[in-house]
Amino acid sequence: MLTDGMNRETAAATTTVVIVLDGDTDAGYRTARKLLAEGCRVAVAARHPADVVRVMHGYPAEQVMVIAADIADQRQWRCVTERVIERFGHIDTVMCGEAPALRASA
């Protein structure tokens, strides 16, 4: 049940979990920050984590996480999805920078 003036759109955003790939690029950064501002929970994957830490500034650990991984490697990708599910409970969407979203089946 929604209380305290929370509308359905806000509730949906706070339960939406998105993995943003290529988070170390400008497009990935912009996408992740936009999703965070909308209230989504966001996992940002990048080969170079030092370049993606800036995404996290100003957001609580309950809303954002950064994972260093080469998603072209199937084992690393599996680890990314497992960590996101462990942390946030599920995955709704996977996005690559500003590319269209891919629906997740996890």
Contact call for residues 44 and 36 (beta carbons, < 8 A): no
Higher pLDDT, 78 or 12: 78
Decide: helix, strand or coil at residue 46: strand
The secondary structure of residue 55, as a DSSP letter, is: G
Interval 20-74: pLDDT, tens? 999 989 999 999 999 999 999 999 999 987 888 889 889 999 999 999 999 999 9
Q: Give first-to-last CA distance, the chain, whole Å.
A: 25
Please give the order of strands across the beta sheet that includes 93-96. Answer: 64-68, 41-46, 17-21, 93-96, 102-103
Q: How far apart are CA 85 and CA 37, in angstroms?
A: 21
Q: State the pLDDT at residue 98.
A: 59
Chain position carrying tokens 């084992």: 75
pTM: 0.79
Q: State the pLDDT at residue 53.
A: 85
17 burial level (CB within 10 Å; 0-12, 13-18, 19+)? buried
